[in-house]
Amino acid sequence: MKSKNHKPSLLIVDDKEDMLRLLKQVISSKLDCTVDLAKSGYEAVEQVKKKDHDVVLTDIKMPDLDGLSLMKQILAYDPTISVIIMTGYATVEGAVEALKEGALDFFQKPFDNDMVIHAVKKGFERTNLLRENRRLQEQLHSFKEQYGFVGKSAKLKEILELMARVADTDVTVLIRGESGTGKEVAARALHQMSRRRDKKMIIVNCPALPEHILESELFGYVKGAFTGADTDKEGLFLAADGSTILLDEIADIPLSIQTKLLRVLQEKEIRPLGTTKSIKIDARVIASTNQDLEKKIQQGTFREDLFYRLNVVTITMPSLKEIAEDIPLLAQHFLEKYSKEYGKEGLEFAPESIRCLMQREWKGNVRQLQNAVKRAVLLASGSVIWPSDIPMENGQDTGMQMLTMPCVAHLPYKKAKEEVMSRFSVAYLTKILQQAQGNVTLAAKLCGLERQSLQRLLRKYKVDPSSFRAKTAAQKV
């Protein structure tokens, strides 16, 4: 794996030495990269296996191993390498075939130097994107087994270490944090780390139940306890005997039930409605809240003694802003999840999409990021998710409303203007190509441009028409 400061590497393959020297001189004068040369297809194969090349620029007609066969061997060895084909007039059909087999681009000799340089630069960017996605996937697969947590930030590691220390004890844990930070995930992780993992964890959504129903659900009742109590009912605390019970959003429990809950925590016993007999239980209690319990104590809506009983160990889940470095891994995790769920495997993020995700203010934290990626998967027209596929904070499309995105607020005016124009152009070109199903000629007509002018824009903003065509073809199959 190359470091971020490592120069990209190009391998040029041609059986004519003067062509090798010319291409090396032209490309080296414009791009900051290392350039290696190979005089035959077989020599190129050996070099690719010895060195981590990013792009291979090869002639298609060579005496020992032609460019198409070379490309197939290269992609079989490392599919992230970008291959560009050079061809003479008589072998254009072969070059078109190479595109179908996975070549990034092809040029007919004689060719324009600037076009070759642009194609090589595009190849470096493509390979970097593919390898970055592969790196994220590898990291993801190593982190996602951590009891449902995805990430490698220091803050998250601290929480996992604290959880590991208290998981296999019986102490009551209070999990605090903003909405969408993963409090229930943390509770499930605590349960899975404990010796109680073989029994089902009980989860109680406290605000979802009215007071009289919540009481009977928690503590149970005996036959005749109230009108309609035709049989005995086992409460959720009894169901959690030997296991774990999560009292989700405990700040919303009424005072009358807080009093009974305090008895459960103090005496380790419950008293079902309609009876004076207490039942001993062995249930590990975890509570969660996104509210300020200290403030509710001052307001008289939450018992102080109950707070101290719950607050034996506190785990505070970080906001997404505090673990922003985990956003790429989280986004990749959700991308894989929903790509598989909706039958759109092969999707990947454009680099500018990851940058946009990291610059966004996620008020809804991980849950909001999850929903944004889910929607982006559904909206993506090709194999790449662009910023225009990512919903704005108000849930609307970013497509033609990207001028209002907050991702540029931290930049100087000139840079911010360039960034906004870039996003507008990407969004506009993406919509046009969606309508034209990847047909550049039709897209040019739709936007009132000459075909060459549109192609220049597509190259400038790195929008690949083939990704839209690929989706259309897949739908027809």
* pLDDT at site 397: 45
Which CATH fold topology does 324-476 show? Answer: Helicase, Ruva Protein; domain 3 (1.10.8)
Mean pLDDT throughout 357-366?
Answer: 88
For residues 7-14, average pLDDT? 94
Reported as a single tens digit per residue, the pLDDT across 39-65 is 999 999 999 999 989 999 999 889 889
Average pLDDT estimate for 352-376? 88
| Residue 100, pLDDT above cutoff 60 | yes
For the chain, give the percent of residues with pLDDT over 70. Answer: 89
- Whether the pLDDT of residue 94 is over 90: the answer is no
Identify the pLDDT of residue 392: 64
pLDDT in tens, 225-272: 787 778 888 899 999 999 999 999 999 999 999 999 999 999 999 988
Mean pLDDT, the chain, as a whole number? Answer: 85
* Shared fold status for 9-143 and 154-316: yes
For residues 214 and 383, what is the distance between their CA atoms, to the nearest angstrom?
48
Number of Cβ within 10 Å of residue 24's Cβ equals: 15
- What is the 3-class SS of the chain, one letter each residue? CCCCCCCCEEEEECCCHHHHHHHHHHHHHHCCCEEEEECCHHHHHHHHHHCCCCEEEEECCCCCCCHHHHHHHHHHHCCCCEEEEEECHHHHHHHHHHHHHCCCEEEECCCCHHHHHHHHHHHHHHHHHHHHHHHHHHHHHHHCCECCECCCCHHHHHHHHHHHHHCCCCCCEEEECCCCCCHHHHHHHHHHHCCCCCCCCEEEEHHHCCHHHHHHHHHCECCCCCCCCCCCECCHHHHCCCCEEEEECHHHCCHHHHHHHHHHHHHCEECCECCCCCEECCCEEEEEECCCHHHHHHHCCCCHHHHHHHCCEEEECCCCCCCHHHHHHHHHHHHHHHHHHCCCCCCEECHHHHHHHHHCCCCCHHHHHHHHHHHHHHHCCCCEECHHHCCCCCCCCCCCCHHHCHHHCCCCHHHHHHHHHHHHHHHHHHHHHHHHCCCHHHHHHHHCCCHHHHHHHHHHCCCCHHHHHHHHHHHHC
Q: Does residue 199 register a pLDDT over 80?
A: yes
Q: How confident is the model at residue 6 (pLDDT cuts 50, 70, 90)?
A: confident
pLDDT digits (tens, 9 = 90+) for 421-460: 877 888 788 888 878 878 888 888 888 888 888 988 888 8
**Residue 410 pLDDT:** 57
pTM score of the predicted model:
0.62
Across 322-345, average pLDDT:
92
| Closest-CA residue to 192 (of 146, 247, 237, 147) | 147
Residue 90 has pLDDT above 60, yes or no: no
Across the range 307-317, mean pLDDT stands at 95
CATH class of 9-143: alpha beta
Is the per-residue pLDDT at 400 higher than 50? no
Other beta carbons within 10 angstroms of residue 392's beta carbon come to: 16
Q: What is the pLDDT of residues 157-192, one digit of tens each?
A: 899 889 988 998 999 999 999 999 999 999 999 999
Predicted local confidence at residue 95, as pLDDT: 65
The region of weakest confidence among 21-25, 106-110, 195-199 is 106-110
User: From CA 327, how far away is CA 296, in angstroms rounded?
Assistant: 33
Q: Domain spans of the chain?
A: 9-143, 154-316, 324-476
**CATH number of the domain located at residue range(s) 154-316 in this protein:** 3.40.50.300
